[in-house]
Structure 1
């Protein structure tokens, strides 16, 4: 499989087709209004346009990306205090003003809230916020998950769970009603990884932590996205996700969402099974639909043979979930099988998939009312901002009957040092999707030129 056909994201967010980003400008909009509509990127502040142009220029250049990757790898893994952004004031300042500001929300409550408020002012419905800090496991611990003995490291396990719970609870507190919080169970440490790999229930301490997180989220009307992870632990994650959906989702509202990766051949069958479980259990199914996140580590035979197969599966699931119909690759067990209530996040940087979902919403054929679109902060802004602009245009029309477009940006928060591994993953993604970042770079350059000409035309 060519490297530029897929991009692996460790956070389970999405996998993009590098060749479709140029289609971002075609995101569904009435033909009669397209010519008169302003540039989608006009909603961004100039500082964001300049920063995006800088980062996409670096990431789309083989000459610049290689050295940048080497530097970021050193910063993310070095034990040298001089290379630690949290201890080197100058290094911290440089990173915070560039790559950190491009992808991350902030280091503290004030910065995070300022970033979120800025996105909502632009027109985004809200954010998908995650906590960047990760639990780093030793190689020996990773190798011995199957024989892990929790009693031998009880104190360390309790510390891992506590740190993960506190960070996730604070993330929920930083968001508002209608927002999402993304969480990774693996961040809770090696005990969690062991239990997931063996498809065991969470330990009592972890179960208590998850319940506290879920209860706070429901209380604040914040939705939780349980991220997908590697296949070694994904079956366990699915078990936990469905258990907490059953406990906290109501018949008409999803507060807990699972993540479904379209590039896996089995996803259609798994999602079909979960739809039936939700219907029979009387609760709404929360679905975050992504293309995939672990191309480099998941067994190749589990992944669709071609990119076209992945596209077909992703768009087919989107159609079925939006229209509440059993369309390929969703499979009904009986004719006229009922469909449960669904909450859906179309988490994609693939412009064609966004167009597909948005056109279904505009056509009136959609029977699912709780639908959101999500892209990573600092990436695919031409798609995200087009969604925002289309929504503003539609809602301004007096005879509009199209439901509001709920566009969200996914971003993480934490100290500069804590976010380095996250930033390194973003750099890896851009390395494997040069064509996509070239399209974003060109879009940012065109927007900068447009603004420059606008200044002189008004002079």
Structure 2
């Protein structure tokens, strides 16, 4: 039975809504319904046909759904093409063995190389090798045509949309971040050096703005665009580190990006970055939320990113919720565990993974319920929870299942639900993403069930522009060794299942 058709186009309802949904809990592996009807989804009908064909029959006992054997659950990874399975298996195998350490060292050298041999931008053979392996695993493409092909492939699998980002960024080590406040290199636009300021605008701010505007144009209504301020270069780094507003040229660039996104019904995710600049990013995020999220009641255009591995995150989020209630706008929240473990000061981060997990799960539950709790406590004097739109970005299957169970209970009781989507990085946690996609397929068209909306986060840019992003993905695999091993086992199991199916030792999906 083929399950590569999602039945309905994921683009039919691109804009977020805040409807009330009543539902009973239905999982992708739930038992078949007691009767067939015209309202059954295409994937359900295919499964029924599969079992009717396989079930033993007799002349006196007609085959009915009631006498069918239990349905074989659809393996989540069965929706992926074989090439993706094999490539993921190879990469997760390297990432979960001793090969990762030398691989990380090589990637780091390539990511910072300028010479003709080790720079992907100057060595076409190296560029080809990288593009066909790790680039293809994690990135969308180098141009509009390649990005469109990648995105269409995800939509055909059943994803509701994508989160697309322009790969250009600046990643500093802790020493560089510590020296940032002492540096005057970024103080260009406000200095008397007009030539240097013009060069900064021409060579850093304008290319970043053009790349980000192009990213917004590549997306469709209902999609997201990830926006990384440090990609705008030295002036942005200086402004953020000093916690000032963006300089005139940078403000003009950000305004144009926000205006275009709002006009195209595309949502913007302001990415979290290293702690040296994060306080400035938080201030800019609130500034643009006030301006753009208040224009359409109940809908966020701009989202901030909140990292659960930081001890200060609950109080920061609580202060932003208080600002949203006071100023009357919807708070856009992208919740992540964190991606700068290797560069952020260790004392700012939770002492154990269990503490980070508890912080993430507690905050996500509070957001879904729109109520404060033991971790996300209200700011002084606050009691009312403002409207929120949420992107739960995470690769932890347990956390995803917890929030799905909560939303199933809300739907069952007819409670109001916030607009919430799930997101995983392209090339990672496919077993989590595909499980969400399958649940969306099985529940499509139902009125009494919560239908999860799955998105993939991916970046585009030249191979050279994407190298720092790829290095961070590799480092993340190292930091999450157990999850990487789980991914390797899941892809290995799926590959073995397909091989057995070829020889008739199992069902084909």
With the length of structure 2 as denominator, give the TM-score of the two structures: 0.80
Per-residue CA deviations over 1:103-144 (Å, capped at 9, x if unaligned) read 000000000010001001101111111111235889989735
The alignment status of 1:225 with 2:261, answered yes or no, reads no
The structure-2 alpha-carbon separation of the partners of 1:105 and 1:118, relative to structure 1 and needing over 3 Å to count, comes to same
Separation of aligned partners in 2, 1:109 and 1:241? 28
State the Cα distance separating 1:178 from its structure 2 match. 0.8
CA distance in 2, matches of 1:415, 1:269: 38
Mean CA deviation greater in 135-144 or 73-82: 135-144
Q: Give the drift of 1:35.
A: 5.6
- Structure 1 range deviating more: 126-135 or 311-320: 126-135
1:328 to 374, 384, 392: 374
Partner of 1:374: 423
Moved more, 332-341 or 99-108: 332-341
Asked if 1:337 is matched to 2:383, the reply is yes
Using the TM superposition, give the Cα deviation of residue 404 of structure 1 relative to its aligned residue in structure 2, in angstroms: 2.5
Match for residue 266 of structure 1 among 291, 312, 318: 312
Write the deviation string for residues 351-380 of structure 1: whole angstroms up to 9, x where unpaired: 111111111121126644310101110000
Say whether 1:40 aligns with 2:76. Answer: yes
- Tell me how many residue pairs correspond in the alignment: 430
TM (norm. structure 1) is: 0.88
State the match for 1:155 in structure 2: 198
Structure 2 partner of 1:55: 91
* Contact 2:28 2:73 (8 Å CA) reproduced: no
Deviation, structure 1 residue 30: 6.5
The equivalences for 1:78-97 within 5 A come to 78-97=113-132
- The 1-side partners of 2:302 and 2:417 are apart by 16
More helix by percentage: 1
Contact 2:155 2:161 in 1 (8 A): yes
Q: Distance in 2 between matches of 1:234 and 1:140?
A: 15
CA root-mean-square deviation: 2.4
Is the aligned partner of 1:421 residue 2:468?
Answer: yes
Flag the 1:225–1:136 CA change in 2: closer, same or farther, 3 A: closer
Matched, 1:245 2:294: no
Distance in 2, Cα, partners of 1:140 & 1:383: 36
Q: Say which SS state the counterpart of residue 257 (structure 1) adopts.
A: strand
Q: Which runs of 4+ in 1 moved over 6 A?
A: 136-142
* Structure 1 residues 306 and 324: CA distance shift in structure 2, 3 A: same
Unaligned runs of 5+ in 2: 1-25, 33-69
Q: 1:186 is matched with which residue: 218, 230, 239?
A: 230
- 1:329-366 Cα deviation digits (max 9, x unpaired): 22235799222111100011111111111111211266
The answer (yes or no) to whether the contact 1:373–1:406 under 8 Å persists in 2 is yes
Is the contact made by 1:347 and 1:373 (CA closer than 8 Å) also made in structure 2? yes
Which residue pairs with 1:392 in the alignment? 441
Residues in 1 aligned to 2:180 and 2:382: alpha-carbon distance in whole angstroms: 47
Shift in Å at residue 85 of structure 1? 2.3
1:444 is matched with which residue? 491
DSSP-derived class of the 1:127 partner? strand
Q: Which has the higher contact order (CA 8 A, sep 6+)?
A: 1
CA distance in 2, matches of 1:310, 1:144: 28
Partner of 1:306: 352
> Of 274, 281, 297, which residue of structure 1 is paired with 2:343?
297
- Whole-Å separation in 2 of the counterparts to 1:297 and 1:67: 19
Q: Secondary structure at the match of 2:334?
A: strand
SS in 2 for 1:253: coil
CA contact (8 A) 1:364 1:402 kept: no
Instruction: Go from structure 1 to structure 2 and tell me whether the alpha carbon gap of 1:320 and 1:219 turns closer, same or farther (over 3 Å shift).
Output: same
| Cα deviation, residue 431, structure 1 | 2.4
> Which secondary structure does the structure 1 equivalent of 2:444 belong to?
helix
Report the secondary structure of 2:391's partner residue.
strand
Separation of aligned partners in 2, 1:78 and 1:334: 50
Distance 1:79 1:438, change over 3 A: same
Separation in structure 2 between the aligned mates of residue 200 and residue 333 of structure 1, nearest angstrom: 24
SS in 1 for 2:309: coil
- The structural deviation recorded for 1:256 is 0.1
**The 10-residue stretch of structure 1 (98-107 or 422-431) with the greater mean CA deviation from structure 2:** 422-431
In the alignment, structure 1 segments of 5+ residues that lack a partner are 1-26
1:197 alignment counterpart: 241
Contact 1:137 1:189 in 2 (8 A): no
Mean CA deviation greater in 261-270 or 216-225: 261-270
Task: State the match for 1:19 in structure 2.
Answer: none
2:407 corresponds, among 361, 375, 394, to: 361
Contact 2:226–2:271, Cα closer than 8 Å, also in 1: yes
Q: Distance in 1 between matches of 2:363 and 2:441?
A: 27
- Cα distance in 1, alignment partners of residues 106 and 100 from structure 2: 10
Residue 207 (str. 1) matches residue 254 (str. 2): no
